[in-house]
Structure 1
Amino acid sequence: LDMYFQQEWIDSRLAHNHSGKLLVKDKAIFELMWHPDVYFANARQASFQEITEDNFLVWIDPTGRVFYDCRISMVVICMMNLWKYPLDMQRCELRILSYAYPESQLRLQWSERIKPIDRNMEIRMPDMQLIDIRTGHCNGTYSTGVWSCITAEFIVEQACRFNFWLDVDSAPARVSLSITTLLTISTQANAVKLALPEVSYMKAIDVWMGSCMAFVFGVMIEFTVCHFAKNRELYKSDARPSIALEPFFCNPANVDIVSLLWIFKNYEERVFCGIFCFRK
């Protein structure tokens, strides 16, 4: 995730008499101010953007309302159910809560004045589609008390497309494409097996890869049968020159000459193909 993380709280000690908001861009000053100690519970890695300057700002209005904005990049852990992969829909949560303050001292809630989560519609993933983003709460009770927690749920699904069409006369294209596809699917199946964790149940990707290999193998058989059937039909049809035998008799002295004429109906030609002589 690459996001702009914004927080807002009220600290009456920071109220001032200026007509406008005060801008704070010095981290040393910000560290001297009280601010919520929120953290991302299921983040595996996280970092602040610091190119070319620290990407953060703090606004303080005259009433003591503090607005904090920073840019964060993180990798979040998401427990997935791979039963329907790659035709699955996953729900990944981002959990935000305080590290030291219980709910009696710090309560987290999503903004009601504006849309709490917005996204850039121009940024898209090539293999996934972000369906929706939902906000919620995940307050938990522990031995130390009740702790405030909020969640952002990202609902994503795989982007799948299907395309297939080649003419039966395109023998080189069909054969080469089928063999290449068969080898590619075999390589992908091995790569997916190594990339995914070992589970005790059969995943949809296993059925998918097996079905794809069976489909491609069936395409090769289908092409062989169709190509043979079409050639056989052409062999029997008028598209191939048909042949008829017509005898021609000549009777010179003591010789019977039988000339066989091959008549090509399509070309309307007569060609002497053989002469057979029989003595009386």
Structure 2
Amino acid sequence: MGGRPISPTKNISCLLDNLLKGYDQNLRPSFGGEPTTVEIDIEVRSMSRVSEMDMTYSMDCYFRQSWVDERLAFSDLDEAFTLSVAVLEKLWKPDTFIYNGKQSYVHLITTPNKFIRLYQNGRILYSSRLTINANCPMDLHDFPMDTQHCPLKLGSCE
């Protein structure tokens, strides 16, 4: 029965539809069980403005988060695949925030600078390009010969 083979895109669309049936993005993975571990990686592209007057600094970075959501595990395909940004809106995401952040934004030109990859075991890799402006309490008693340590403090509400 020779019919046309199903395209990989069609396979992925069907797989996603099945995985998202009954999926509740408001519940974290393993809700009611162990906490969800979220791994974070930041690749700093550039440090731009350091202001002694405002006691702030600014950086452009790739902010990556990875976690396992067992509800999204699959065996239908042999490899990981990239998800569209639209699918991201249907998934649970960590509520990571920057404690000492003043103002941050995701780069949206020309499209949102976000990348989402789903692996067979349900691991999600979520990357976005951010510009972060953060507070840095500075000790200026030896200015301009002083040394500053400007932390980036991350947290989560859950």
TM (normalized to structure 2)?
0.61
Paired position in structure 1 for 2:117: 59
Query: Unaligned stretches of 5+ in structure 2?
Result: 1-58
- Secondary structure of the equivalent of 2:89? helix
Query: Is 1:48 the counterpart of 2:106 in the alignment?
Result: yes
Match of 2:134 in 1: 76
Count of aligned positions = 99
Gapped regions of structure 1 (runs ≥ 5): 102-280
- Superposed CA offset, 1:23-50 (max 9, x none): 1122x32121111110111111100001
1:13 paired residue number: 71
Structure 1: 4+ residue segments shifted above 2 A: none
1:143 corresponds to: none
User: d(CA) in 2 for partners of 1:25 and 1:84?
Assistant: 50
The Cα shift of 1:73 comes to 0.5
Structure 2 SS opposite 1:82: coil
Secondary structure of the residue that 1:89 maps to in structure 2? coil
Q: How does 1:1-280 map to 2 (within 5 A)?
A: 1-17=59-75, 18-26=77-85, 28-99=86-157, 101=158
Q: Higher Cα Rg: structure 1 or 2?
A: 1
In structure 2, distance between residues paired with 1:50 and 1:35: 19
For residues 41 and 88 of structure 1, the distance between their equivalents in structure 2, rounded to whole angstroms, comes to: 25
Structure 2 CA distance for aligned equivalents of residues 74 and 61 of structure 1: 29
Q: Point out which structure has higher relative CO (alpha carbons under 8 A, 6+ apart).
A: 2
1:81-137: CA deviations, max 9, x gaps? 0001100000111011103x0xxxxxxxxxxxxxxxxxxxxxxxxxxxxxxxxxxxx
Alpha-carbon distance in 1 for matches of 2:134, 2:121: 36
Q: Counterparts of 1:72 and 1:61 in 2: how far apart (Å)?
A: 24
